[in-house]
Structure 1
Amino acid sequence: MTKRFIYIILTLFLFLSCVDKKENEVVFEKEIPAKEDATKSWLHKVENYKKDKKYLSVLYKYYNQKIAEHNYLNAAEILDIACVYLADSYDFNEPFMAMIKEFDTKYRKEVPALKTTFVDAYLANYYYDKYDLKKACEYFRNITLLEPNDYNSCYNIARAYYDLSYMYYIMGKQNLSLVANQKSFEYFTKINNPKGLAFVYSNYSNIYTAIGDKKRAIENADKAIKAYKSIDNTYNVYIGLINKISIYDFMKDSRKRALIDSTYQAFIDSKDDSKILKIKLYDFKVENLVEENKLTEAKKILDDLKPVIEEIDSDDLTQEYKITTALYEIKKNPNYSNFNDIKKAIPTLITNQQYEKVNMFYGVLQNNAIQNNDFKNALHYEEAKQIITDSIGNIAARGRIAELETIYQTEKKEQKIALQKTTILNKNTTIALLASLFLGLFLTVVIYITRQKQKKLRLEKQNAQLYTKQLLEKTEEERKRIASDLHDSVSHELLGLKNLFEEKNDITNNKIDSIINDIRIISRNLHPIMFDKIGLKSSVEQLVERAQSVNDFMVTADIDYNNSLTTNDELQVYRIIQEALSNIIKYANAVAAKITISQKNESLIVEIKDNGKGFDVNEKLNGSNAFGLHNIIERSRVIGGEAKILSDKSGTIITIQIKK
């Protein structure tokens, strides 16, 4: 139930391309880089950082020279380049960190803020490696407070939102992760950056993993891999595959082992020299070998990996290596018990909300307990893992608890007010009784007159409702006839005309195909195909699928319906949903919508939600531009239902309750 609730909240905010087109169009074009001096050009090349041990000494000399010349902008630009290389390599050495902090305190104010975001980004990555996620988030948020004015600043802000989204994900704050990822998408779109959009897909796969939606998690992981391949970014293709392995691992998917083996072999064959990729893929490979009881091979890989771990000296990567080593030692010796480092790290990781890493640590301890037949501790670790898993995906539930607490406190206040009113009423009982005698006589007359008027109005309403129902039914019959004529007559005639052409003309054929396709769309909009045979549920599912594919718009449907309405009434429900979806796509600027059909007691409840910009319901209904809303209300009345429309800046909810 918890994950279902989380899923509803997340899908209400999900976007993938339904942001306003004006916000999604390219705003900043990539600039042609200015010609650089020889030293700066040399420092700019990543291969020099990777292969030349003099890189940092050349950097320090150049930086100090620019500071001495009071050329702070040039000094900032060279630090920006180096920060990217060092952070990506988990290189947080003390001399460079001291230089960053010196620049931050002494010279940063001399350079425009958009040119110094590298300081916050580098420090954020440092605190992430040290498991202080709250501090890391603070630095990333500093960057997101800025507004871009060129391609590079827009990229830096987009990347900060992406990193912030990932921080929130591993802290279990999936709602905040989703919002940050959405902003990252918007900024990467402004510069039309495919690599950045691949980052976004990768984060979406993480979020879906956290809430247990394996299908969408893998879909987004594959989108990220495809995007990296399209720009020939081999490093990030491997990162995408590693992310997919992690999803399989989290979901306990049997495909994990085969994907590890194939990715590991591809990496070996490629002769890639990336130390980060080597650590992550070798860790996974050792895990496979341990499961297969190939301990000699596993030990060889661990020995190969040890000097790389010591060279990089990253807390994060070192802990992962220790976990992998512990898995090997447990398999080799069931009595292995050297878990002091792991147990010591767990409280700090929980405090810093590093839930994903905590889950891995508990998994190692649980494996050891099971191997030693210590099922009491194995159960304890399983319960601890479940708590951590819930922490990753349970933020929405906590929000719901807070909401219910607010409602409860409000009800308590209302009860207190009601009690006060009752006390006052008891003090004035005599006056109230005397007044009630007079009011009783007066109300009897008023009620009699009112009931007579209501009876007359009810009869008029029933007649109007019957007329509207007959009118709608006749309209649907005519729509069905026109749709059939278009599909069976005009469409077939065009198809025959196409086949009559002796000389195949691609332009003519394409034009005829386009006309046929337009006719099919018109026909489908006039009357849903096979509605009479497949019923309401399947027709709505087709409508949702079509809305997503045609408009690239996230729509989900949750339908619990047992054919309790007549076919004509079902068709009216379908038209209501169709009209509401059309309004959302055209006017709401929403990123997602959800359709729910449920049965409650003697009523059928239809609900259409979106997370758009909302509107003033009364003002809209009283205006001249509300045909769609009136159409929904009138169709609801015709089938004995009542439509309620609630809307504010966080979205719109249309609810129709129909008596069965």
Structure 2
Amino acid sequence: MFRKFIKPIKILLLLFVISFLYACNGKKESDVVFEKEIPAKEDATKAYLHQVENYKKDKKYLSVLYKYYNQKIAEHNYLNAAEILDIACVYLADSYDFNETFMATITEFDAKYRKEVPTLKTTFVDAYLANYYFDKSNLKKACDYFKNITLLEPNDYNSCYSIARAYYDLSYIHYIMGKQNLSLAANQKSFEYFTKINNPKGLAFVYSNYANIYTAIGDKKRAVENADKAIKAYKSINNTYNVYIGLINKISIYDFMNDSRKTALIDSTYQAFVDSKDESKILKLKIFDFKIENLVQANKLPEAKKVIDELKPIVEEINSDDLTLEYKVAVAQYEIKKNPDYSNFEDIKKALPTLITNQQYEKVNMFYGVLQISALQNNDFKNAFTIEKDKRIIADSISDIATREKIAELEAIYETQKKEQQITLQKTTILNKNTTIALLASLFLGLFLTVVVYITKQKQKKLKLEKQNVQQYTKQLLEKTEEERKRIASDLHDSVSHELLSLKNSFEQKTDITNSKIDSIINDIRIISRNLHPILFDKIGLKASVEQLVERAQSVNDFMVTADIDYTNSLSTNDELQVYRIIQEALSNIIKYANAIAAKIAIQEKNNSISIEIKDNGKGFNVSEKLNGKSAFGLHNIIERSRAIGGEAKINSDTNGTIITIEIKKQ
């Protein structure tokens, strides 16, 4: 009964969070952490490549780039090679230029030379690949590459800018995927990093994303306010390109909110762009697409066709999947207006499943809009209503609020039309039969759905119970194994060892050789006994036992191991013993296979959990490959023992070593 209140409450909470973050973000001088460095004097070629105008106007730009890059690679000057690729990546990504030659260069650098350059100097690789996958509508991969950058910590102005920009791009992707909480969190991080370098352009980016988020949750006033803040910020630094981007963003807000001011803003932006004689092809595509929509709605089809024809060669030249889709929508709007029976929507329908799978909800909304216009123009209200319901199925769609309003509107039209038909049909006996069939079908459907829900819940309950049983069985198996080890260890220590000692003392004629052999046997038995079950573990506890294990590992293997233990015996003895076995297994693997010279064991007790970390500086290994192989008993042993005591083990490994972390929740 309370479900209908959840959405409004979530929206109110989101508005409160955004307002709170704004209130807390008054910029202070002390927030500036990294000052912009004065660039070092560059050689002539590098200075040439740094000029964006050369990229835009000189067809030889990429040839000069490749020649300079290959020269630096040949000189093993990988840092300089990285810096020049960094410059080019920005220019090409902003122009949607993902040509095969440059992509091959980036891929080669990533595979062969990236490790030779400090990590913070190579974020351009992830940024370029993220933009490539964004253009291909693969938002999940784009997110993954941007996240790679956000995991880093900056150490100068440029690295801080790269991380701030990655958070901004991540926020925008979450926005169009309908994940407004994630979008808000990423945008706030972007704000923090841009503030650290006092970058006005970056802060304008943040305002743009806040405008998007407010649009998604239906707050038109604040959406427009933030769009205007972004435009004002771009104007203050004379950034004409992004002023137009800000205006395009504002048009999109008006479009999303169905605001009548959209038409006038499109016309004024279009005219200003034409008068400025700006040569940016990206801006031209975006602004002219909107202009086509205006002309079509005003029934100025010859003018619309002229703009369409003017854009066509630019679309073909840029060859961007993202921009091509937007252009196709504009063309489809023109064709529908020109011919109400137009039905060539194959490209749009073909793209829809991929866009939905990749959560490209902004584009999905746009495509559904074209199909809906066609249905409405043909007075096919039933199909229009069905399309609107399809939009609603996308639960986290950014257009949720607008969709609800549109559904109410179309539902009213459709219901009116349906009632008129029913009045006519009431005069015949067919109506009664159809009504009876409909009622029976509804009843059957209701019963069917009830059964499906019940069966699903029972299956979930059964799976949960089976998981608990498996965990309990594993735990009992490990405890029984430890009990048996303890018994055998006790027998070895108390019986066999004792008998050998008595034998040693009973010899009438003792010899050094005999004594030495018996001492060796006794020592071996003690080692076996200790490995089966640590001596006095039940009395001295986990901390002391691990310290003894570390001490033995160092003395026997000439291997440096340190232990940092902050633990107060909050686990049961059986669980402590499993922790000891996990550390013992991990340490044994390090000594046998890692070729490491040092290792560290850390146990930290928190309020609700206990954290264990075992790391080494060895050669590392491929974790997934190893776990799927036939010689990973030790690793699986660590994982299963962790699960048995309510913990989770994570294994990360690379050429710098291996880290095993285990989080155990306190019962």
TM-score computed with the length of structure 1 as normaliser: 0.59
| 1:641 matched residue in structure 2 | none
Q: Does 1:215 align with 2:213?
A: no
- Superposition pairs for residues 107-126 of structure 1, below 5 Å? 107-126=113-132
Greater C-alpha Rg: 2
Letter in 1 for 2:308: L
* Secondary structure class of the residue paired with 2:113: helix
| Paired residue type of 1:165 | S
Matching residue of 1:8: 12
Q: CA deviation at 1:17?
A: 4.7
Secondary structure of 1:216's partner?
helix
Q: 1 CA distance for matches of 2:214 and 2:9?
A: 13
Residue 24 of structure 1: how far off its partner (Å): 6.4
Q: Is the 8 A contact 1:104 1:119 kept in 2?
A: yes
Contact 1:24 1:189 in 2 (8 A): no
State the match for 1:48 in structure 2.
Answer: 54
Aligned AA (1:178): L
Q: Measure the CA separation in 1 of the matches of 2:33 and 2:189.
A: 15
2:180 corresponds in structure 1 to 174
Query: 1:372 deviation in Å?
Result: 1.4
Which structure's relative contact order is higher, taking Cα pairs within 8 Å and 6+ residues apart?
1
Q: CA deviation at 1:2?
A: 4.9
1:627-656 deviations in Å (ceiling 9; x for gaps) = xxxxxxxxxxxxxxxxxxxxxxxxxxxxxx
Aligned partners of 1:3 and 1:212 also within 8 Å: no
Contact kept? 1:359, 1:388, Cα under 8 Å: no
Question: Is this contact kept in 1: 2:207–2:229, CA < 8 A?
Answer: yes
The 3-state SS of whatever aligns with 1:336 is coil
Matches within 5 A, 1:600-619: none
Alignment-derived partner of residue 71 in structure 1:
77
Take 2:260 and 2:206, find their aligned partners in 1: how far apart are those partners? 26
Matches within 5 A, 1:283-302: 283-302=289-308
- CA separation in 2, counterparts of 1:127 and 1:238? 24
1:322 corresponds to which letter in structure 2? K
Superposed displacement of residue 157, structure 1: 0.3
Q: 1:8 is matched by which residue type in structure 2?
A: L
**1:185-196 superposed matches below 5 A:** 185-196=191-202
> Secondary structure of the equivalent of 2:24?
coil
Counterpart of 2:8 in structure 1: which amino acid? R
Q: CA deviation at 1:238?
A: 0.4
Equivalences for residues 180-579 of structure 1 within 5 A: 180-388=186-394, 390-392=396-398
Name the aligned partner's letter for residue 186 of structure 2: A
Cα separation, 1, equivalents of 2:371 and 2:259:
21
Shift of 1:393: 6.5
Alignment partners' CA distance in 1, 2:344 and 2:30: 53
- The SS at the match of 2:397 is helix
Instruction: Give, in angstroms, the shift of residue 374 of structure 1.
Output: 1.6
- In the alignment, the residues of structure 2 paired with residue 243 and residue 267 of structure 1 have an alpha-carbon distance, to the nearest angstrom, of 15
Tell me the secondary structure at the aligned position of residue 317 of structure 1. helix
Q: 1:385, CA displacement in angstroms? A: 2.8
Amino acid paired to 2:84? I
1:290/1:298 contact within 8 Å kept: yes
Q: Which residue of 1 aligns with 2:468?
A: none
Look up the match of 2:665.
none
1:602 is aligned to none
SS in 2 for 1:391: coil
- Give the CA deviation at 1:6: 2.6
Deviations 1:340-394 (A, max 9, x none): 0100110100000000100000000000111112221111112223344752267
| TM-superposed deviation, 1:3 | 4.5
Q: 1:362 to 1:19 in 2, by over 3 A?
A: same
Contact 1:158 1:188 (C-alpha < 8 Å) held by counterparts: yes
Q: Whole-Å Cα distance in 2 between the matches of residues 229 and 392 of structure 1?
A: 29
> Any gaps of 5 or more consecutive residues in structure 1?
396-407, 417-615, 617-660
Distance, in Å, in 2 between the alignment partners of 1:301 and 1:394 is 32
Match of 1:146 in 2: 152
Give yes or no for contact 1:26–1:189 (8 Å, CA) kept in 2.
yes
Deviations 1:147-194 (A, max 9, x none): 001000000000000000001111111101000000000000000000
Which one of 77, 100, 105 corresponds to residue 99 of structure 1?
Answer: 105
**For the residues of structure 2 that align with 1:69 and 1:176, how far apart are their CA atoms?**
44
Secondary structure, in 3 states, of the residue corresponding to 1:369?
Answer: helix
Partner of 1:162: 168
CA pair 70-91 structure 1, distance change in 2 beyond 3 A:
same
Flag structure 2 segments of 5+ consecutive residues without an equivalent: 402-456, 466-606, 608-667
SS in 1 for 2:227: helix
8 Å CA contact 2:392, 2:400 repeated in 1? no
The one-letter amino acid paired with 2:9 is F
- Aligned position for 2:24: 18
After superposition, give the CA deviation of every residue in 1:44-90 in whole Å (9 maximum; x if it has no partner): 00000000111111100000000000000000000000000000000
- AA aligned to 2:151 is L
Task: Say if 1:142 and 1:215 are closer, same or farther in 2 by CA, change over 3 A.
Answer: same
Asked if the contact 2:177/2:396 (under 8 Å) is kept, the reply is no
Residue type of the alignment partner of 1:354: Q
Q: Distance in 2 between matches of 1:273 and 1:162?
A: 26
The residue that corresponds to 1:38 in the other structure is: 44
Q: Percent identity?
A: 80
| Distance in structure 1 (CA, Å) of the matches to 2:200 and 2:114 | 31
User: CA offsets per residue over residues 80-106 of structure 1, 9 Å max, x none?
Assistant: 000000000000000000000000010
Q: Deviations over 1:597-626 (max 9, x none)?
A: xxxxxxxxxxxxxxxxxxx9xxxxxxxxxx
- Say if 1:151 and 1:252 are closer, same or farther in 2 by CA, change over 3 A: same
User: Cα 1:230–1:17, aligned 2, differ >3 Å: closer, same or farther?
Assistant: farther
Indicate conservation of the 8 Å contact 2:256/2:399, yes or no.
no
- Asked whether the 8 Å contact 1:166–1:203 carries over to 2, the reply is yes
Alignment CA distance shift 1:389-1:221 (3 Å):
farther
CA distance in 2, matches of 1:20, 1:216: 18
> How many Å apart are 1:19 and its aligned residue?
4.4
Distance across 1 between alignment mates of 2:12 and 2:384:
33
**Is the 2:178–2:398 contact (alpha carbons within 8 Å) kept by the matching residues of 1?**
yes
Q: Please say if 1:127 is aligned against 2:133.
A: yes
Q: Please tell me whether the aligned partners of residues 323 and 364 of structure 1 are also in contact (alpha carbons under 8 angstroms).
A: yes
**Residues 130 and 316 of structure 1 are in contact (CA less than 8 Å); yes or no, is this contact kept in structure 2?**
yes
In the TM superposition, residue 4 of structure 1 has moved relative to its aligned partner by 2.3
8 Å CA contact 2:365, 2:399 repeated in 1: no
Contact 1:188 1:196 in 2 (8 A): yes
Distance of 2:72 and 2:23 partners within structure 1: 44
Residue 60 (structure 1) aligned with residue 69 (structure 2): no
Aligned mates of 2:162, 2:286 — CA distance in 1: 26
State the 4+ residue runs in structure 1 displaced beyond 4 angstroms.
Answer: 19-24
In the alignment, the residues of structure 2 paired with residue 25 and residue 83 of structure 1 have an alpha-carbon distance, to the nearest angstrom, of 29
1:201 to partner: Cα distance: 0.4
Partner of residue 572, structure 2: none
Q: Is the 8 A contact 2:285 2:311 kept in 1?
A: yes
